Structure 1
Amino acid sequence: MKANKLVAIGGGTGLSILISGLKDKFDVSAIVTVGDNGGGSGILRADLNMLPPGDIRNCLLALSNAPDSLSKLLAYRFTKGDLKGQSLGNLMIAGMTEEFGSFEQAIYFLSKALNIKGNVYPVSLDPMDLVAKLSNGDTIYGESEIAIFSLKRKAKINELYLKEPCNISLDAREAIREADIVTLGPGSLYTSVICNLLVDDVRDLLKDKKIAYVSNVMTQPEETYNYTLRDHIEEIERYLGRGLDYIFANDALPEKEVLAKYKDEGSIPVVPDKYDHDFYGDRLITGDFISVKEGYIRSASEEIAGEILKLC
């Protein structure tokens, strides 16, 4: 039986965790933001005038069927010297981009080397620079700065937009066209998920697609301080320009000790209340969708994948 084609749109840790659970149940294409301008990716972006490779690298590793030793090699991060904080996988993408003269060809080469199950595409091949207007009136430029200054100034992100228009990549366009179902999230609401909806033609391509939003399990003090589940959904739908077909939300809580650590950092669970169930009805799908590893709360991708499969 032919697997359903699923497009997962997002970025950051959230997207890579989700697709790791989806890859054995769907024909997965990950469409990844390229708006990152911080950390090792930001350095390579500035120095080599290339797209940021970090989120792409994480998705390649998540879909990889290569030996663990090779995946571990690409995930290695330098701890000292001029390369401190840089990952070997990022450097390999940078090297292959220079070798082939194409970011797309570099991804294709590493996809083959890692024997990935599925596809990884940048949402755009154009420089993607994010701009946010905060509730205090400030305008912040750059993905990493948006998170820093919205937290520092205790200001909400009122509007997110692109400094210059970006065209959707041809591979991303074709993947969305052929998709049986599309997922948005989990991940940083504005800088990993919504930013993709700002790229030219993405919203038009999604207007007739079956879309499932996978909500974050915890708020992020940088972008979604004290946001409710409905706050997340309403922001997604505002930028999407249409309603979501399905919403996956966790309704289980981890142990108090784990929650206490997150609360100290300004992060609380994103769980539905009874009004959400009444308002969203059958569109809202809830369950125990969390996984706690080494004290970190993440989405339980295998459980979410099983539920998504029921929709196809």
Structure 2
Amino acid sequence: MNIVAIGGGTGLSSLLRGLKKEVGERVKSLSAIVTVADSGGSTGRLRKAYNLPAPGDIRNCIVALSESEQIMQQLFQYRFKGGELEGHAFGNLFLIALTDITGSFMMSIKIASQILRTKGDIIPATVGDVHLCAEFSDGKVVMGEEEITNYGKENKVRIKRIWIQPEDTLTPIDAVGRIESADMITFGPGSLYTSIIPNLLIKDIREAVERSNALKVFIVNAMTQPGETDGFTAYDHLMTFLKHSGIKKVDAVIVNTKMPSSSILKRYLDEGQEPVVPDIARIAREGFNVYAEDLIGDKEDFVRHDPDRLADLLMRVYYNYAVLP
């Protein structure tokens, strides 16, 4: 089976950690198509300095798929403390330096992937210097991934419309080819407006997904995100994804049904985040096939999908469809 995972942020990294264990077994090839519109932190500073795609989510995916020694993974994620390099991740600087040396952002990713021995390919959604823009319900237009989330959080307003600039940015031919030859394409988990949808705002990717005969699976987030999906149910996540991505349909929807422990939940509630209500019947009534299970981890201090549970469910979802007449 050929799998293409589309998204960004910690959600995509978590999914890849589970799926990489299936590479060479039930998975023949694994490809991650990653958003590069991030504007915050080390990534944002490097983008402004070098006018390159955002390296942060790319770096996280390389580490997630890595089979190298733990020290190499730790080195790639290391953040400098103090001085002019304060807050910069070593992996981000490494990718920027490789891009400068080779003259190609794509080549820098391939070299870094070889060094960290990834069990899969990481492909940026575009090699262009793109920026995410959003219009809010109060009429305000905001540019920048981090700025969009912050504005929504501070002003308690909804995102009305979202797009990328430039709108005609191109995607690597490798990404189009992988999508068209995929057996399964996953969307999420991750920040709905700023990690998942941006990939589909690129015309080449959106049209390739629409052409693909792959099984298309949308993975609903476990928690709401302040400034983006406040109060969203599972149904709201799905409908918002379809509306803004331009994707006409998905074949299956994965929903977490497990609630966090009371101590972890209290911390999230204090930060304005709530468990996503699994309104499964409402999704099913719209004609979608829903797979609802306990999918968040038991041991972490954060509410995230358990990589192994999620990967196992995706395998079952695919084979359920494979045996259908």
Is the CA contact 2:137–2:158 (under 8 Å) kept in the aligned structure 1? Answer: yes
Most deviating of 180-189 and 194-203: 194-203
Match of 1:216 in 2: 221
Q: Is 1:172 aligned to 2:169, yes or no?
A: no
Distance 1:303 1:74 in 2: 26
- 2:322 alignment partner in structure 1: none
- What is residue 162 of structure 1 aligned with on the other side? 164
For 2:37, give the aligned amino acid. G
Report the Cα offset of residue 85 of structure 1: 0.8
- Whether the 8 Å contact between 2:296 and 2:305 is mirrored in structure 1 is yes
Match of 2:107 in 1: 105
Tell me if structure 1 keeps the 8 A contact 2:225–2:273: yes
Residue 302 (structure 1) aligns with? 308
Unaligned stretches of 5+ in structure 2? 320-325
Partner of 2:200: 197
Q: Aligned residue for 2:62?
A: 60
Q: How far did residue 282 of structure 1 move? A: 6.3
Shift of 1:294: 4.3
SS at match of 1:299: coil
Q: Residue 273 of structure 1: CA displacement?
A: 2.6
Matched residue SS, 1:201: helix
Q: After superposition, what is the alpha-carbon deviation per residue over 1:76-122, rounded to whole angstroms, capped at 9, x for unaligned?
A: 11121111111111111011111111101100101110010010000
Identity within the alignment, %: 38
Could you say if the C-alpha distance between residues 307 and 294 of structure 1 is closer, same or farther in structure 2, counting changes exceeding 3 Å?
closer
Q: Which residue of 2 aligns with 1:226?
A: 231
Moved more, 4-13 or 208-217: 208-217
Return the match for 1:8 from 5, 30, 34.
5
Whether the 8 Å CA contact 2:131–2:144 is kept in 1: the answer is yes
Q: What secondary structure sits across from 2:88 in the alignment?
A: coil
TM-score when normalising by structure 2: 0.92
TM-score by length of 1: 0.96
The corresponding residue for 1:287 is 293
The answer (yes or no) to whether the contact 1:292–1:298 under 8 Å persists in 2 is no
Quick one: structure 1 residues 10 and 278, their matched pair in 2 at CA, closer, same or farther if it must change by over 3 Å? closer
Q: How many residues align?
A: 309
Checking the alignment, whether the CA contact within 8 Å between 2:185 and 2:216 is kept in structure 1 is yes
SS at match of 1:109: helix
Assess if the C-alpha contact under 8 Å between 1:130 and 1:141 holds in 2.
yes
Distance 2:92 2:247 in 1: 34
Hey, what's the Cα distance between the residues in 1 that align with 2:280 and 2:102?
54
RMSD: 1.3
